[in-house]
Structure 1
Amino acid sequence: MRKILPFLVIGILVLAGLGAGALQIDNEKLELKKIESITPAKEERDFTHTVLAEFGTTSSCPHCPPVSGYLYDIQGSGEYDFYFITLNADKETLANARYWEIPGASGSVPQVFFDGGYSTLIGNQGSKTPYISKIVQAGARTVPDIDLNVAVDWLGDAEIEVTVGVTNNEGSSYSGHLHAYITEIVSRWYDNSGNKYHYSMIGYAFNQNINVGAGNTWSDTVIWDGDSHPPYGNIQEDNIMVIVSIFNPSNKYLDETAAATPGGGGTNNPPETPDIDGTTNGNAGTKYTYTFNSVDPDGDDVYYYIKWDDGHTEVWDGPHASGTNVNIDHTYTKEGTFTIEAKAKDIYGEESAWGTLTVTMPRTKSISNTFLVNILKQISQVFPIFNKILNL
């Protein structure tokens, strides 16, 4: 019997080790499958041009606020080469006229036109996904090889100077219709939920046909005066973006887009790097609350972009008051060490540096260890000498 016992103990230890090893391999396979399922296709980011969405809406539309939020979040994420313009059809005459000249205008809101009517979405689609799909689809279109540049200078007293350049890289002449939309980054108009719109069109700096010879550049400069376009004499330098687009005069579809904000003397400051607080050692499968706090020097509301390092993100959660704690729950479903990253953005688009917090969801072999200890305790009851050897 004494000769058998050592082999029995060794056998138990070997089996327990194999069981733990098999469990670890299964976990690693599971982690690999999860990573493969959440990694976006790289080619979806390779756009032929910068996509434009024009969002037709009214302040009384009950289905429009979510769509406004989807577009703002998508543009703010920085993941797509994309801008959008809000056409407040019940507030601005030029915006209403633009809505009706886009191919496919239905008279219904919300309606989002991608690349000048190349495709549209009518109604609230329920999530960002359909809008992202349309953006990616439009970004794969074949368009002429042209470069579009814009510069904006603030002259004071609601005056801005807009300079646009179009370079034709084709072997033949290029003709297009140029729009330079003056937009308010944070709109003066509210949606049906009481939130302000973003990138609302308030006028044109350019609205004309142009022709550019092969290998040549067309450029021009205009001064747009808010005082001459009531009620826009109170526009603010740090709340203006000029979005310039050029369209094919034949099918009306977009060829290229560019954007700029007034430079020189802006007073808007980015938010401070967010502080991140919460559990740094926990258990996989358990929900934990993490707190994010960023102070904006100008007192502006802030949004948070959070990467959990497990394939999940929070895309511009907000807006939240500057300097207030924002609590967000998250559950890590697998063991490991993760680095939470977060940055803040104010309502004017200025972004902070990334803040980080490293958290660990330690691996555990408690099931295997408990099983082994129970077996050894049973053996020690039959053979008391094991109490001294194993200190049980």
Structure 2
Amino acid sequence: MTTHLYRASILHFPHKSAQPKDDYIYIKDGALVTRNGKIVVTGERKTIENQYHDVKTHDYSGQLIVPGFIDSHLHFPQTEMLASFGEQLLDWLENYTFPTEGKFSNPEYAAKIADIFLRQLYRHGTTSAMVYSSVHQCAAEALFSAAQKHKMLLIAGKVCMDRHCPSWLQDSPEKAQKESADLIERWHGKDRLYYAITPRFAPTSSPEQLHALGELAQQYPDVYIQTHLNENLNEIAWVNSLFPKHNGYLDVYDKFNMLRPKAVFGHCIHMQEHEWQRMAQSGASIAFCPTSNLFLGSGLFDLKTAEKHNIPVALATDVGAGTSFSMLRTLGEAYKVGQLRGEQLQPLHGLYLMTQGAALAQGLEDKIGNLNPGSDADFVVLDPNFDELTSLRFEQHNEVQDIIFALSMLADDRAISATYIAGEPVYQTHIK
């Protein structure tokens, strides 16, 4: 058995909490021990070192170990179109997204971008993600294969669209159901990989396709579902015109049997009260994508109301409408969204939404999102003093809450000293 000890400050949320800003574990002079891809123990360094004095030691003194970041909504085929200028949602899809995703019919190209995509996640401290592929089965295969090589916990799915998109990106109800089923049988539950049934959003799936995907969701009740909901006012009006017999956008998914636990809905900015209530009843969760919502001018997510209804919420980058792979920067933008709404997102609350809170939203808290004994050894080493400015910033103010907040505003990939997945380094600035 291979056992490793890591010296650093330790910060995590050990369980579900309604008040994560007050309910966390912080050990200033701490240590974490891993064995065979699992966390064995965390605690005070002196105590741990006395118990594990003859194991391989990695010294990250002066730095901070936190659980690996979980990105709950992003699009791997949009990696290359990050920061494309202008437009709101529907025009942005037509002018940028669809032409880019057309390239992913080529398996070699999909494999190339999958490797780049995962490297970007790792260098920004993201160890798990819930990912949209393109409409092409081969692209999803490439992504799963790339993640499997690093023992990554990945949830992903082939996008399904049979209307209101270019003909060369369309599948059909039958093809969407068959290819999704094939991918489920091949990848769901294999190693640390999980499948998500993925209608892009209601306008690009006919009622027949939504029915076929709903059948699949009933056939495989343990798979995930991911799609978009109530992101843009024009989008909502379009949905209402396409589905006039339904009681709003959420009701479309509900009537096609895709509203349930393990269903994650991106955005949810313009929700009606009955939709908040129904989502709370269903056990589904929300991916809050602040950089994307601001970039596309979609609106300001109402985190307070979501939490009032006890709906699980997870932070997400939504690359490529989102403007950065950095979950730390995404946290900074979530704070700004709260400010514009007259609400204050505490820094540790925000960190919770991209670690333990995200794991809870996906039903994976026994595996990821924390540093509990028995959890998978997915963790990130943060260097608060990664440049001259941050070193100056933390000379006087270096409480853990202040460190996380300042990093959410100032950090980039230079703040990531190392990223570990299943106990193995997948990114390091230098060997420790």
- Superposition TM-score, scaled by structure 1 size: 0.24
Higher-helix-fraction structure: 2
| Bigger CA radius of gyration | 1
Higher-strand-fraction structure: 1
- Superposition TM-score, scaled by structure 2 size: 0.22
Q: Which has the higher contact order (CA 8 A, sep 6+)?
A: 2
